[in-house]
Amino acid sequence: MHGTHKIVSKSQLSEEVFRIEVQAPLVAQERKAGQFVIVMYDEDFSERIPLTIADADPVRGTVTLIFQTVGASTHKLALKNPGDSIVLLGPLGNPTHIERFGWAVCVGGGIGLAPLHPIAKALKEAGNRVTVISGARTKDLLIMQDELAAIADEHIVVTDDGSFGRKALVTEPLGELCRRAPSPDIVVTIGPPIMMKFCAETTRPYGIKTLASLNTIMLDGTGMCGGCRVSIGGTTKFVCVDGPEFDAHLVDWDGMLMRLGTYKEIEKEAHDRCHLEMRIEELEAQGDGARAPEKEPAK
Amino acid sequence: MSHKEEYIMDNAEVELARLRSAPVTPKVRMQIPPQDMPAQDPSERRHNMDEVALGYTPAQAMLEAERCLQCKNAPCIAGCPVRIDIPGFIGKVKGGDFLGAGKIIKKTNLLPSICGRVCPQETQCQAPCTVGKALHSVGKAVQIGRLERFVADYERTHGAVEVPNVASPTGRKVAIVGAGPAGLTCAADVRREGHDVTIFEAFHKSGGVMVYGIPEFRLPKVLVQSEAEVLESMGVDFELNFLVGRTRPLLSLLREDGYDAVFIGTGAGLPKFMDIPGENLVGVFSANEYLTRANLLKAYMKGKAGTPIYPSHRVAVLGGGNVAMDSARMALRLGAEEVRVLYRRTREEMPARAEEVEHAIEEGIIFDFLKSPTRVLGDDKGRVAALEVLSYELGEPDDSGRRRPVPIRGSEEIMPFDTVIVAIGNESNPLISQTTPQLQVDRHGHIIVDERQKTSVERVYAGGDIVLGSATVILAMGEGRQAAQAINEILQ
């Protein structure tokens, strides 16, 4: 039986953000902007973790994934190193619909900047004028900045704490762009759900078509579990096979946010335990020499 | 094991010896009662994931085999979707040649330890059994399924699992999409002819519904694994974590990758929901999701598994099939205090296997017949708090021949629950047809095939739930077998 994929390189972009490049020639060849994969850190006990594809190199046969260690599972994934194998299934979901809209505004928040990159790139290549709004809590979490700056005709950077760029939320410059004449032809937003919700509210009064890429709870990623379901304009849709991108003005954001919190308490407990275990391991590694005498039998 | 179980087993030996002290006439055979299968005590098993049924002892199996009349016309064979030589293998069991019995079964069924456990025998091989007919009760038919299970387990535990012969290489290549019952059966039959076979599976384990859906306590995963290992020893190649249609287009397999034929056995797809208000509240799950978390992703191993399961106290399961029984019994094992199955009709109309319903009742699952929810009610955090439930009565028979449930006006009541598991079936999986527009599907999205399982695309065959809708393991296997025959013919 085969089906695992080797990590060929790994780097840490900030305290919580990791980039891994994984050998997956067919996925690298087939994937298009907007698609995602499901990864597992092992084949027995791992959760199935959906991650958007940040980049792919069909020549090297690799895909690049960027993820933030937000819970126990992503922490365990971050412990994997080049040479280790992981489970990877994809590419999943429908590709972003790319065409020449005119002026496209791409809004990315935090880790969402990673999957925003291939979409912004594809929009640029299709002949659009591209404005990128990069947002993060703090300077450290701003990722893919060189890559996005290279594509963008205009690049606006904001941080919540003002440690880099403008001290603002992404919705502030987004609102300003909406008020320009002519206004943007399309807005694409990827990031924390609450950010995408407020991006949708920002563009709604101007009637600007806005797409959001959703990252909901998901098991198989092939339409079988229905865990990813979300109400779109009153109809239940599955993010894995109908999405992951939807008209942001039709998404039931509050319902989606509630569903995302389904396992919040359990996950917090697992996350805390995971930190505790990692701390114990660290201490053991440090303290091996110091505590060695204790292991000797008492005479 | 309880005293009752010990008695059943000991008694079989005494009975068998007594029986064989005199000539066994058909009349005597008819007087032997069907052998109960020992099972874990309900009060114990509702707290563990171990298999519920424990299987026959050799004496019980031989005694049960003595009940078979060896009918010349063998009506039981016609009732079996894969046409096992049932009187043949039972004859061997009677004589104590359990490995010989296994060989007979394996001629037409590569997965007997699975079928012996999950087939709905009471509507298949055991339904036309002469003994059952004579005694006016299908429950008193020869217990063919239990015997099949015994033979398969005996073979495995005695290290005698034989790898079927594979003909010399033909140089032909066949791709199988999906490692469930249809795909595994098709793979085995095609491989026997000497063709190269690769199975593409989207999940990280092979087995399909047998690993993600059917719980450990009904079908131990080690059995599914050992059946897949037999295929590996036959030289079948498994590509896990490979989603045909997305990782590689279906037609590229034929046009670029050198496959001479493809079999699609992708199984069930999108879970159906009730389409009632509140179904997206936190705490409403499809049975697929609930069972996949618990089975495939081992969420019951708390602390070890990365996948969480919702902490439930009062669970409502909607539906009346095997999947509903599995969900209810799983919820109980995961710690729910009360589990109720809500079904629109009555016990007689339930599609679940009788044995599963009995086991569920023994374990303390409560059945609310003639009830169906109209709304899911949530608390201020968007979590399930209750169901609004409507009562029904049975009216005239509908197209399926079952009496149609008619709602009783004004009978709405509120039942408190924190978890709702929807087990009312699946729609077809849209992935293959979405990504392969050439493939013709019906209005439900099921792939259209001819009587040989051939699709609208040359050299592409399909079978199992992607063709049938929600069916059973054995029917899927039957289709896999039929497709294999057709594929083997075109590759001659």
Q: Does B470 score more than 80 pLDDT?
A: no
Over residues A124-150, mean pLDDT = 95
Over residues A62-68, mean pLDDT = 94
Closest CA to B115 of B86, B140, B141, B152: B152
- pLDDT confidence bin for B447, thresholds 50/70/90: very high
Q: Does B231 score more than 70 pLDDT?
A: yes
User: Strand order in B314-318's β-sheet?
Assistant: B284-286, B419-422, B314-318, B338-343, B366-369
Alpha carbon B65 to chain centroid distance?
Answer: 24
pLDDT in tens, A33-58: 999 999 999 988 999 999 989 999 99
Q: pLDDT averaged over chain A?
A: 91
Q: Does B128 score more than 90 pLDDT?
A: yes
The answer to whether A79 faces chain B, any CB pair under 8 Å, is no
What pLDDT does residue A295 have?
Answer: 40
CATH superfamily of this structure's domain B173-269+428-491: FAD/NAD(P)-binding domain (3.50.50.60)
Q: Which residues of B touch A222 (CB under 8 A)?
A: 202, 243, 429, 431
Q: Does A293 score more than 80 pLDDT?
A: no
How far is residue B111 from each of residues A71, B56, B225, B231, B488, measured CA to CA in Å? Answer: 40, 18, 11, 11, 20
Whether domain A2-92 has CATH 1.10.110.30: the reply is: no
Residue A147: count other Cβ atoms within 10 Å of its Cβ.
19
Cis peptide before B128 (omega within 30 of 0): no
- The more confident residue out of B9 and B151 is B151
User: CB–CB of A61/A24 below 8 Å?
Assistant: yes
Option in B242, B273, B298 nearest A3 (CB): B242
Share of chain B above pLDDT 70, in %: 98
The answer to whether B288 faces chain A, any CB pair under 8 Å, is yes
Q: Does B309 score more than 80 pLDDT?
A: yes
Q: What value does the CA radius of gyration of chain B take, rounded to a whole number of Å?
A: 23
User: CB–CB of B260/B172 below 8 Å?
Assistant: yes
The answer to whether B252 faces chain A, any CB pair under 8 Å, is no
Option in A5, A225, A229 nearest B292 (CB): A225
Share of chain B above pLDDT 90, in %: 75
B73 contacts: CB under 8 Å, gap ≥ 6:
none
Locate the domains of chain B by residue range.
Answer: 3-157, 173-269+428-491, 271-426
What pLDDT does residue B3 have?
Answer: 63
How far is residue B480 from each of residues A232, B262, B305, B464, measured CA to CA in Å? Answer: 38, 12, 33, 7
Over residues A85-89, mean pLDDT = 96
Locate the domains of chain A by residue range.
Answer: 2-92, 103-260
What pLDDT does residue B273 have?
Answer: 94
What pLDDT does residue B4 have?
Answer: 66
Least confident of B147-156, B295-304, B337-346: B295-304
pLDDT in tens, B41-93: 999 999 999 999 999 999 999 999 999 999 999 999 999 988 999 999 999 99
Over residues A16-26, mean pLDDT = 94
User: CB–CB of B347/B367 below 8 Å?
Assistant: yes
Q: pLDDT averaged over chain B?
A: 92
Query: Domain A103-260 belongs to what topology?
Result: Rossmann fold (3.40.50)
C-alpha–C-alpha distance, residues B9 and B38, integer Å: 8
* DSSP-H helix ranges across B20-78: 26-31, 42-45, 58-66, 75-78
How far is residue A77 from each of residues A41, A192, A280, B49, measured CA to CA in Å? Answer: 5, 20, 18, 29
Over residues B169-190, mean pLDDT = 96
Q: Which residues of B touch A258 (CB under 8 A)?
A: 281-282, 381-382
B173-269+428-491 matches B3-157 in CATH topology: no
C-alpha–C-alpha distance, residues A131 and A142, integer Å: 17
Torsion of CA B205, B201, A23, A221, to 10 degrees: -90
The answer to whether A262 faces chain B, any CB pair under 8 Å, is yes
User: CB–CB of A248/A199 below 8 Å?
Assistant: yes
Residue A252: count other Cβ atoms within 10 Å of its Cβ.
16
What pLDDT does residue A294 have?
Answer: 42
Joined together, the tokens standing for residue A232 give 């779109």
pLDDT in tens, A161-201: 999 999 999 999 999 999 998 999 999 999 999 999 999 99
Closest CA to B487 of B194, B186, B109, B250: B186
pLDDT in tens, B279-303: 999 999 999 999 999 999 988 888 7
Q: Does B356 score more than 50 pLDDT?
A: yes
How many interface pairs between A and B have CB atoms less than 8 angstroms apart?
Answer: 139
Is the pTM above the cut of 0.90?
A: yes
CATH of B271-426, one of 1.10.10.350, 3.30.450.60, 3.30.930.10, 3.50.50.60: 3.50.50.60
| Architecture in CATH of B3-157 | Orthogonal Bundle (1.10)
The alpha carbon of residue B272 is apart from the nearest alpha carbon of chain A, in Å, by: 9
Q: Which residues are A275's β-sheet partners? A: none
Closest CA to B481 of B15, B44, B103, B80: B80
What pLDDT does residue A290 have?
Answer: 44
pLDDT in tens, B157-167: 997 777 888 99
How far is residue B437 from each of residues A54, A96, B251, B430, B445, measured CA to CA in Å? Answer: 28, 19, 10, 11, 12
